[in-house]
Amino acid sequence: MKNLLIMGIDTRPMVNSALNLDYKTFSVSYFKTVDFKMPFREKHVLNQESVISCGRFEENYSPMKLLQLFDEMTHKNAINDIDEDEIDKIVLTTGINANDFCGKFEKYKKIIYGNKKTEKVENKFKFFNSIKNKFDIPLTFQPTDVYELNEILQQHDNNQLILKPLQGSGGLGIFLLNNESLSENNNSNEILENISYENYVLQEYIDGINVSSSVLSSHDEHKNLINSRLITEHDLGNDTFEYSGNILPLDKNSLKMFNSIQTNFDADELNEEMKNISEDLMKEFKLVGSNGVDYVLDKSGQLKVIEINPRFQGTYELVENVLGINLLEAHIKACEGELIEIPNAGPYSIKKIIYARKQLNIGNLNIPNVFDVPYQGVKIEKDQPLVTIIICDNDLEKAMDDVKIAEKKVFENID
C-alpha cells in the first residue's frame, strides 16, 4: 500500500476521497474540524480542542507551519509517524504550492502530484500580462504608490476599479475604488497610503456574473470537467468580495441566482465557450491535474478571464457529487497521464460558506448538510469562516430552500 500525504489549509474533502482509495493516508493541515475523518495519521496547526478562540486565520497561517508539521511527521517521534523515504505521493490543496518546498524540503518536489511551477499564474500581474493579447481580461495595472494609483483612477474615471492582492485567493483583501469614494472615505485613504503596492494589482471592476470552470489535465490532454456559478459575498449584498460558494452545474437556472442582471445568455453557448478557453489556458501554462479558471460574464455577455487556480478548487465536493467521481483519484491519474471519461452531470449541488460577522460562541453544530464544523465551546472571530453548507437536489429551488433551513439551524446554535 502506497503512502499518500495531503497538505493544505483544509484537507477534509480530499482525505474523505483518499479513504475510499488504496492508500495509507496522511494529512497536514491548518484546520481540523469535528467532521474531519481521521486518516492513518494527521497533524494540524489550529488545535480547537485546547483553545478558547480560533483566532484569525490570516494572522496565524503560513505554508512554513505546514512544512514544519510535515518535518515532525517524518522524524519518527511517534509510533505512527512515517519515514521520509516512505512517502510515495504528495497532493497539495489551497494554501501551499510546490515553490514553498525549498531548502531541506526541495527533494520532495519530485513526488508532488500536481503543478510544480505556478508563479506565472499565481502572480496576477504576470498572468494578465502574459495572456492580454490572447484572451479577454479586465484592464489591469500595478501602481508603485498611492500617487500613481490616483493618476490611474483619474485617467479611468468612468471605470470602477478594484485593488486586489498580487497573490492569494478567496476574494480576501479586495478594495472597490473610485475617485468619489476616495474623496469621501478617510479610512480608505489611510489604508491606501500604508499598503505595500508591490503586493497589489489595480484592476477594472466588472459588474457581472461570476462563473468558473473545473478542468482536468494530463501533460498532453485537457478536459473541462464542469462549469459552475460562483458566489461571492458581494453577490449576497455585502460589501466584501470573499468567496462564498458555488452552484453546479452551470445552466440557465443557476445563472439567475444571486444577481439582478438580466440573464438572457444562452447557457449552452456559455458552457462551450468556457470549456474552450479553460482548456486553452491549461495548455498555455502546461498545467496538470485538477485546476480551475474563474471568469466574470459582463452585462453584454462577454466573458472575462479573472484568474487560474492551479490546484483543487472550492468546488471539489460539488464536482464529486454532481459527476459521481472520486476527484482525488482522477487528479492522480491525470498527473500520471490518464484522463477519466467525464460522466453526465447529475443533480444540482450547492455550497455556501457562512462567515461570522461578529465574535461567536459555538454550540452543537452537528447539523445535517453542515460541514467544516468547529468544536463546541470555541469562539470564532469576526469575519472568519464559520461553517460550510452543502446541499444536493434535482430541484434547484428546493436546494436553495434547504440551504436557508441549514443556515437557520446553524444560527440557532451560536451566541
Relative orientation angle of helices 327-335 and 316-323, to the nearest 10 degrees = 100
Q: What is the pLDDT of residue 262?
A: 60
pLDDT for the residue numbered 113: 98
Question: What pLDDT does 382 receive?
Answer: 94
Task: State the pLDDT at residue 80.
Answer: 52
**For residue 13, is the peptide bond before it cis, meaning its omega torsion is within 30 degrees of 0?**
no
Count of beta carbons in the 10 Å neighbourhood of residue 193: 11
Q: Can you give the pLDDT at residue 283?
A: 97
Amino acid 338: pLDDT: 97
Specify the amino acid at residue 6: I
The confidence score (pLDDT) of residue 173 equals 76
Q: Which amino acid is at 166?
A: L
pLDDT at 195: 80
What pLDDT is recorded for position 81? 54
Burial state string for 309-332 with b = 16 or more CB within 10 A and e = fewer than 16:
bbbbbbbbbbbbbbbebbbbbbbb
Is 244 in contact with 232 (CB distance < 8 Å)? yes
Cell 460562541 appears where?
361
Condensed to tens digits (0 to 9), the pLDDT of residues 372-408 reads 999 999 999 999 999 999 999 999 999 999 999 999 9
Model pLDDT, residue 234: 82
- Ranges of the chain whose pLDDT falls below 50: 183, 186
What is the predicted pLDDT for the residue at 74? 84
- Rounded Cα gap, residues 242 and 240, in angstroms: 6
